[in-house]
């Protein structure tokens, strides 16, 4: 059940509620108690980092890096900000965010609305490096050279991040998902690896992929990721599919669908990528997580870490602690002493 503040925010239009929640979290941050220590069994070391727990805040909530430390104080094991583009952009016309209450889902067509990478860099430059922060980078809608946009984002922001995510899977920037095809993806990731070498930085590089890909595309993505030597995959972004089970009157709105209906298809892609990649890349599972059981299913499907966002709009910040409690109980029930021992056990 949602807390009273979350219930009140749900009475406001979705984008208004989102901005109000950011403002409330920012104001409350000085008064938030530090999250209680996590169970040692939930800790995991991947990407050259130690995560106190595997539950992360997905990109999309805090696009401009306004409240990552407050979200960490609420109990997240890591927080990812963005998607941020080289130049500021307003995004798509409103309305562009829709609650599908009956389906425990959201459709968004925000369009990478953000204040630009320079504003984000200036804000994060004064941030004490406490807690794990990821930065999700994208390309401007009107860019003539999207690969150059990603390279510029990595160049400017890698030194401020614990990892960088390359978002080529949003359905709300026309043509962006085309960068997932083999040749373009190889060019993009090669360019970013060259930039990483030029900077002589070890900042981990991850790729966020769509759920709307077939087996051939999965083969290509896996091969390119291994060939270029990136560190991990975030599986998955929102979907353009519209399951017949959707009941909301907003079901036919254009944009990316997230929340409960995304859980099964995103988990299937996660398993498929684990089958292709084994343990050679770190996988982060995203899509429809609203309980400890959901997080556990992603972990058993191959995810070392998980992320959520949509469920927060329905359940509120108390969801994070509940997921961690439930996850620890499930691990203990099945005889796992450490989280890492459960990763991928359902994938043959």
Residues carrying an active site annotation: 170
Q: Tell me how far apart the alpha carbons of residues 189 and 294 are, in angstroms, rounded to a whole number.
A: 31
Q: Tell me how far apart the alpha carbons of residues 110 and 96 are, in angstroms, rounded to a whole number.
A: 6
Query: What's the Cα-to-Cα distance from 222 to each of 133, 274, 275, 343, rounded to whole Å?
Result: 25, 9, 10, 19
Give Cβ neighbours of residue 63 (< 8 Å, ≥ 6 apart).
81, 82, 83, 84, 113, 114
Q: Which of 142, 154, 137 is nearest to 83 (CA)?
A: 137
Query: What's the Cα-to-Cα distance from 258 to each of 15, 158, 165, 327, rounded to whole Å?
Result: 15, 28, 19, 22
Q: Which of 311, 317, 304, 290 is nearest to 75 (CA)?
A: 317
Q: Which stretches within the chain are classed as H helix?
A: 4-9, 14-28, 68-73, 117-125, 146-157, 182-199, 215-228, 263-277, 292-300, 310-315, 318-333
Token representation of residue 280: 């050679």
For residue 201, the tally of other CB atoms under 10 A from its CB is 16
The pairing of beta strand 49-51 with beta strand 44-46 = antiparallel
Q: Tell me how far apart the alpha carbons of residues 160 and 81 are, in angstroms, rounded to a whole number.
A: 12
Question: What are φ and ψ of residue 298, in 5° steps?
Answer: -65, -40
């Amino acid at each position: 059940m949602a807390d009273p503040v979350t219930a009140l925010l749900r009475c406001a239009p979705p984008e208004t509620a989102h901005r109000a929640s950011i403002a409330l979290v920012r104001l409350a941050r000085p008064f938030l108690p530090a999250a209680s220590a996590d169970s040692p069994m939930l800790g995991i070391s991947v990407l050259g980092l130690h995560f106190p727990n595997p539950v992360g805040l997905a990109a999309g909530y805090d696009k401009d890096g306004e409240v990552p430390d407050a979200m960490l104080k609420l109990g997240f094991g890591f927080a990812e900000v963005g998607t941020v583009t080289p130049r500021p952009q307003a995004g798509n016309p409103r309305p562009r965010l829709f609650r599908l209450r009956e389906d425990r889902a959201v459709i968004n067509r925000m369009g990478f609305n953000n204040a630009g990478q320079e504003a984000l860099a200036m804000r994060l430059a004064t941030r004490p490096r406490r807690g794990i922060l990821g930065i999700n980078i994208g390309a401007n809608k009107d860019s003539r050279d999207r690969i150059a946009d990603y390279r510029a984002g990595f160049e400017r922001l890698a030194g401020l991040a614990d990892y960088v995510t390359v978002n080529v899977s949003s359905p709300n920037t026309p043509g962006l998902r085309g960068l997932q095809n083999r040749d373009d993806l190889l060019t993009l990731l090669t360019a970013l690896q060259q930039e990483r070498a030029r900077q002589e930085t070890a900042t981990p590089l991850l790729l966020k992929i769509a759920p709307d890909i077939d087996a051939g595309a999965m083969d290509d993505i896996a091969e390119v990721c291994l060939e270029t030597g990136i560190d991990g995959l975030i599986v998955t972004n929102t979907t353009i599919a519209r399951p017949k089970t959707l009941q909301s009157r907003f079901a036919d709105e254009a944009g990316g669908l997230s929340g409960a209906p995304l859980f099964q298809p995103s988990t299937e892609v996660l398993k498929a990528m684990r089958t292709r990649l084994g343990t050679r890349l770190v996988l982060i599972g995203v899509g429809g997580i609203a309980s400890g059981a959901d997080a556990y299913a992603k972990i058993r499907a191959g995810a070392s870490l998980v992320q959520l966002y949509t469920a927060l709009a329905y359940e509120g910040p108390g969801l994070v602690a509940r997921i961690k409690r439930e996850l620890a109980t499930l691990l203990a029930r099945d005889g796992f002493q450490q989280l890492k021992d459960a990763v991928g056990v359902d994938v043959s």
